[in-house]
């Protein structure tokens, strides 16, 4: 068997690392595995070979797979330690989110290795923060990245696909504590990783993704957890926020659209706000703050709308008609994978490399969530016999 051919010291180290990543002590692991603690210690040190059934139980207990433990090029992923300084204000929820991102990165790498897929990275040049006005630097860097990607001045409708496919970022969407908007980490082996809160509406996730992209551009060696209630007064956070606004809403583009929408009007109305927010795919509050920043409207405009009844979804529906995205459409992500990870999961299942149970365990999701992902595979399977052959 494969586990008998592996160096027991290497396998023992992987078992120890997997146990620690699952936050299980040796004593608790030994108890749940129904073995003496001294036996577990000997296995982890490579002094005693692990039996097949023992290895199977350990993989299940540590929430990993036997393939991951035995694969020669297995990568140990643990992003939690590098986040510890950033999550001191919310230690538990921050560590849980960082641990989840580690698990998802590890799962994606395992699927890539099983399928023989090599991930391409196309990261932008790193731009260190310079002395002076970081907001101005962020705007220049955002414009440079847009030009580098060939985006022009138009709105970005799908930033998730842009990050995944155009840049090669490892991006995940999972339902997190509402206080967390997102996480960013960069590792020489893993590359750039971003985790977005699937409980947040789409326009908020879009802004968070652009914010984390700012960290990839200027401060990629500094891991970050973005909390909703953080003051975000550091130069790094000011840069990331300004980068996100500039990347999603370039000054020339938004000012031109503002001129078109308000042409002939004497007042800035709710209708104008609704059309502009829809055009750029951001929240109504964010579009007004951007216009305030560019001095297209008076500072305090958002506060005026807020104090005078706000801007409701009903009003947006009246203006946009069938283009209106309902609160349900804007709601959090239901399927806990992105397009790329979804594709890897379906391929591994279709090729019978991993069972449904193994995939569920690997992705840390329940059976029903996995079935939602695998059901998309039927779109391929329905015409597989007659589909054109791919040339290798």
Cα 181–chain centre separation: 10
- Asked if residues 193 and 101 have their Cβ atoms less than 8 Å apart, the reply is yes
Retrieve residue 76's tokens: 């140990």
| Domain range 77-248, its CATH number among 1.10.10.2910, 3.30.70.1880, 2.40.30.10, 3.30.565.10 | 1.10.10.2910
The torsion angle over the Cα atoms of residues 164, 168, 174 and 178, rounded to 10 degrees, is -90
Q: What is the pLDDT of residue 1?
A: 53
Cα 358–chain centre separation: 22
Q: What is the pLDDT of residue 295?
A: 95
Is it the case that residue 307 has pLDDT exceeding 90? Answer: yes
Q: Which residues contact 259 (CB under 8 A, 6 or more apart)?
A: none
Least confident of 182-196, 311-325, 378-392: 378-392
Least confident of 125-129, 212-216, 327-331: 327-331
What's the pLDDT band for 391 if we cut at 50, 70, 90?
Answer: low
* Percentage of the residues of the chain whose pLDDT score is greater than 70: 86
SS3 66: helix
- Asked if residues 65 and 354 have their Cβ atoms less than 8 Å apart, the reply is yes
- Strand 191-197 versus strand 170-174 pairing type: parallel
Q: What is the pLDDT of residue 187?
A: 84
> How does pLDDT run across 14-57, given as a tens digit for each residue?
888 888 878 899 999 999 999 999 999 999 988 999 998 899 89
Q: What is the pLDDT of residue 339?
A: 85
Mean pLDDT, the chain, rounded, equals 86
- Asked if residues 86 and 236 have their Cβ atoms less than 8 Å apart, the reply is no
Angle at 321 between CA 316 and CA 326, to 5 degrees: 60
Q: What is the mean pLDDT of residues 63-83?
A: 67
Q: Is the dihedral of CA 82, 88, 89, 95 positive or negative?
A: positive
Is it the case that residue 173 has pLDDT exceeding 60? Answer: yes
Q: Which residues on neighbouring strands pair with residue 187, listed in sequence order?
A: 191
Q: To which residue do tokens 């007042």 refer? A: 267
Q: What is the mean pLDDT of residues 92-99?
A: 84
Is it the case that residue 305 has pLDDT exceeding 60? Answer: yes
| Domains 1-74 and 77-248 alike in fold | no
1-74 is classed CATH 1.10.260.40:
yes
Is it the case that residue 392 has pLDDT exceeding 50? Answer: no
Q: What is the mean pLDDT of residues 271-288?
A: 95
Radius of gyration of the chain (CA): 24
Is it the case that residue 387 has pLDDT exceeding 60? Answer: no
User: CA 210 to CA 208: how far, in whole Å?
Assistant: 5
For the chain, domain boundaries: 1-74, 77-248, 251-327, 339-381
Q: What is the mean pLDDT of residues 86-104?
A: 78
Q: What is the pLDDT of residue 20?
A: 83
Q: What is the pLDDT of residue 336?
A: 67
Q: What is the mean pLDDT of residues 106-115?
A: 85
Is it the case that residue 330 has pLDDT exceeding 80? Answer: no
Least confident of 102-111, 195-204, 270-279: 102-111
What's the pLDDT band for 291 if we cut at 50, 70, 90?
Answer: very high
Q: Which residues contact 56 (CB under 8 A, 6 or more apart)?
A: 66
């Amino acid at each position: 068997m494969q586990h008998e051919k592996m160096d027991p010291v290497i396998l023992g180290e992987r078992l120890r690392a997997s146990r620690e990543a699952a936050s299980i002590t040796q004593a608790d692991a030994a108890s749940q595995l129904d073995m003496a603690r001294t036996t577990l210690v000997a296995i982890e040190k490579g002094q005693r070979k692990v039996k097949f059934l023992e290895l199977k139980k350990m993989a299940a207990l540590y929430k990993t797979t036997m393939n991951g433990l035995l694969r020669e090029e297995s990568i140990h992923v643990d992003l939690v330690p590098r986040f510890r300084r950033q999550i001191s204000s919310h230690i538990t929820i921050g560590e849980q989110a960082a641990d989840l991102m580690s698990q998802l990165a590890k799962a994606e790498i395992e699927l890539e290795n099983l399928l023989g897929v090599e991930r391409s990275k196309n990261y932008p040049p790193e731009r260190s923060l310079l002395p002076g006005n970081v907001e101005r630097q962020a705007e220049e860097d955002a414009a440079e990245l847009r030009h580098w990607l060939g985006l022009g001045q138009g709105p970005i409708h799908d930033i998730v696909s842009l990050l995944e496919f155009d840049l090669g970022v490892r991006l995940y969407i999972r339902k997190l504590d509402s206080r967390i908007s997102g996480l960013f980490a960069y590792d020489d082996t893993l590359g750039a990783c971003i985790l977005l809160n699937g409980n947040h509406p789409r326009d908020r996730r879009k802004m968070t993704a652009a914010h984390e992209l700012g960290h990839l551009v200027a401060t990629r060696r500094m891991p970050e957890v973005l909390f909703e209630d953080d003051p975000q007064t550091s130069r790094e956070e000011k840069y990331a926020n300004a980068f996100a606004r500039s990347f999603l809403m370039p000054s020339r583009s938004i000012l031109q659209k503002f001129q078109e929408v308000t042409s002939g009007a004497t007042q800035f109305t709710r209708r104008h706000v609704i059309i502009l927010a829809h055009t750029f795919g951001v929240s109504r509050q964010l579009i007004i703050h951007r216009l305030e920043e560019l001095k297209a409207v008076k500072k305090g405009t958002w506060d005026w709308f807020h104090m005078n009844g706000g801007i409701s979804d009903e009003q947006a529906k009246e203006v946009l008609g069938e283009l209106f995205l309902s609160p349900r459409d804007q709601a959090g992500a239901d399927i806990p994978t992105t397009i790329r990870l979804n594709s890897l999961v379906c391929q591994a299942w279709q090729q019978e490399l991993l069972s449904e149970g193994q995939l569920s365990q690997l992705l840390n999701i329940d059976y029903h969530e996995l079935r939602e992902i695998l059901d998309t595979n039927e779109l391929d399977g329905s015409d597989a016999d007659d589909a054109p052959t791919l040339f290798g």
